Structure 1
Amino acid sequence: MDETEKIMKTIFSAVLLVTTLSVSAQNLGDLLTSGLNDAERFANAYTAPATEAVIYGLSSGWYNSADAKPLGGFEISVIGNFTGFKNKEDKRSFTLNVADYENIRFSDGSQSKQVSTALGDIEGVEILVEDSNGLFSEPFELPAGLSAEGIDFVPSGFIQGSVGLFKGLEVKARFLPKVKNDDVAIGLLGAGLQYDFTKLLPADKLLPVAISAVVGYTSLTGDFNLNDTNVVDGENQRLETNFNTWNFSAVVSTRNIPVINFYGALGYVTGTSNIDVLGTYRVTSGPFQQTYTDPFSLVNDVNGVVATLGTKLKLGFFRINVDYNMGEFNTLTAGVNFGFR
């Protein structure tokens, strides 16, 4: 495996595997011992904040100016997003109340406790899986999350291009080349439009600011092969994940300043994550020994308002931009851009 594949597999593991069922895939087997309903309920609560963070990250990076490019002007960008959650205590844990579950109890007899999400760091919480008669129980420890591994952000990255068309209109596309090996496959595609309303004015080039509307769509798809992780006996075990996001923004920026310009935006983010747990899983321990085929899917819908502040440094064909997106999750975006107007 070359260095590029290693980097992409690391990103994939952070964005896909850890944000689905567990920092360790072994926990899927533990969850299924509690029965399908309990496993699905816990997995939904555990993964939802992390998939939300991914959606906010993927929705960022669509613009670095409100000043649309003229006909034939283009820009190629390498963009990285870092969605932080260090201070998001409400996203790093959730309340597990055993009354909401059919077969799960806390080992110490507690009715409810704060437990880790896929972003959290709460470790050592032990639960018991019991049958309805209380005659059989099996303990296991709930998984912690990314913070327990010393990671307080979810990364994403892609290549993005933009081209100016007729007056005021700019088209955009983003992609991450398909990366695939024995265990991991991931790819990203997206498309967007920007329309600069100030180009409608007769003296637009003399104005100190530009105002644009931007809409962008991003789709991230990924597969992770579980067959070699010893999750639980079975065949063709895998995760298939799809993230779809939309960003609708009103953008304003300074213009005609030779070296540095500033931009800001108010936007609306909406998106959906879908994680399918596929294959055959044979649970051979605990009170609910059973075979499951394609046991469940995890779906999470996200909507929220985002405000952005950023700056762009121009050095001829070479440009650097940095912005900070403030919403339910905050995202730092950095871009290296090449092109001409």
Structure 2
Amino acid sequence: MKKIAFVLLFLSLSPIFSQQNIDNLLAAGINDAQRFTSDYLNPATDGLMYSMNHGWFNSAKAKKRFGFEISLVVNAAFVGNDNKSFVLDPTNYENLDFRDNPGVARPVATAFGDIENVIVVVEGESTVPGFPPQDAEFELPTGLGESNINFVPTAFLQASLGLIKGTEIKARFFPKVKTNDAEVGFYGFGLQHEITSWLPADKLFPVAISGLIAYTHLDGSYDFTNTNIVQGEDQRFENDTNTWLFQVIGSTKLPVFNVYGGIGYLSGKSSTDLKGTYRVQSGFVSSEIIVDPFSIESEVSGVRGTLGAKVALSFFRVNIDYTFAEYSGLSFGLNFGF
């Protein structure tokens, strides 16, 4: 469970720590570091928001009053090739430029990319009067592409309970987990209502149609003060992610095997803050003390479509579905209920 919790929040952040010193990024100045980090992390934070919203439903048929189901849901949102790199244009940066062919824009890796040996230069400050400044030169981080990881996973427990006619409430959560350095929690709530339950011939119809509204929240932090990445105190990343899903669902309602699908709209926002005190040792801000350097935000919105199937054997059910979206994904559920 702890390993899954770490993946949820820090899959997107670990390449920076493992492959490149944050001191190098901050050496270019806060604005440049913020711009690069935002472009670098966007595919990971966006993919996380899509992955968080897979698996909300496996049928359009609402449960009867006090009928319930408990599910273990595992999701994966896939990152396409278009999101494995971004074009870094030095003219949009204040102090950062490429060592080779300076001033010329070129693709560089995102958190899911694999573009190596991209060397950049940050003009330094002169420490001795009369001597030219010493430039800082370093390699930009690559991403998880070198490990052939091209998806953002999520996993959680989900419960559904039937209430009044045609209505069920849903809740999903990942228990708050805290390790020595990391802490992450995840929860969500949904309301599903079956429209066809109000039709006079409901029991004769072979299909059910319903609507779903769901909210999901993730928050976490990672304290890396003791890693000596860069000198300073109370150094950490903090993340806060919130999403809304609006979905129309249709499904068959047969005893054993059923198919289901739906059209929905996802909207979400993720904020990641770099907190703490940093003493940068090189580049444009050499020896400068920086407090709470920057905050980056990412927003997603778009239509999604889902197709899936479910097999029911008494109180045990298995379902699998695929969602077509900007970050398409696969969802698998093990469900127990009455």
Flag whether TM exceeds 0.5 (same fold).
Answer: yes
Look up the match of 1:196. Answer: 194
SS in 2 for 1:242: strand
What is the deviation of 1:157?
A: 0.7
What is the deviation of 1:119?
A: 1.3
Structure 2 CA distance for aligned equivalents of residues 146 and 245 of structure 1: 25
What is the deviation of 1:329?
A: 0.6
Q: 1:71 aligns with which of 65, 73, 82?
A: 65
TM-score (norm 2): 0.94
Structure 2 CA distance for aligned equivalents of residues 135 and 199 of structure 1: 75
**Residues 14-52 of structure 1: CA distance to partner in whole angstroms, max 9, x if unpaired?**
332242473425432210011111100101111111111
Look up the match of 1:169. Answer: 167
Alignment of 1:96 with 2:94, yes or no, is no
Amino acid at match of 2:150: D
SS in 2 for 1:266: strand
Amino acid at match of 2:266: V
Mapping of 1:317-336 within 5 angstroms? Answer: 317-336=315-334
What is the deviation of 1:112?
A: 1.1
Amino acid at match of 1:97: D
Mapping of 1:257-336 within 5 angstroms? Answer: 257-289=254-286, 290-336=288-334
Look up the match of 1:115. Answer: 108
Structure 2 CA distance for aligned equivalents of residues 136 and 190 of structure 1: 51
- Name stretches of at least 5 consecutive residues in structure 1 with no aligned partner: none
Structure 2 CA distance for aligned equivalents of residues 219 and 302 of structure 1: 14
What is the deviation of 1:135?
A: 3.6
Q: 2:145 aligns with which of 144, 147, 159?
A: 147
Amino acid at match of 1:277: L
Mapping of 1:11-90 within 5 angstroms? Answer: 11-12=5-6, 14-20=7-13, 22-24=15-17, 26-85=20-79, 88-90=80-82
Question: 140-149 or 261-270: which moved more?
Answer: 140-149
Amino acid at match of 1:62: W
Which 4+ residue blocks in structure 1 deviate beyond 6 angstroms?
A: none
Structure 2 CA distance for aligned equivalents of residues 194 and 173 of structure 1: 11
Structure 2 CA distance for aligned equivalents of residues 46 and 53 of structure 1: 13
* Contact 1:76 1:161 (C-alpha < 8 Å) held by counterparts: yes
**Residues 241-287 of structure 1: CA distance to partner in whole angstroms, max 9, x if unpaired?**
111111100000001x2211000100000100010111101102223
Structure 1 CA distance for aligned equivalents of residues 34 and 312 of structure 2: 50
- Name stretches of at least 5 consecutive residues in structure 2 with no aligned partner: 127-131
SS in 2 for 1:228: helix
SS in 2 for 1:22: helix
Amino acid at match of 2:139: E
* Contact 1:162 1:171 (C-alpha < 8 Å) held by counterparts: yes
* Contact 2:125 2:283 (C-alpha < 8 Å) held by counterparts: no
SS in 2 for 1:167: coil
Amino acid at match of 1:105: D
Aligned residues, how many? 330
Q: 1:225 aligns with which of 216, 223, 226?
A: 223
* Contact 1:76 1:339 (C-alpha < 8 Å) held by counterparts: yes
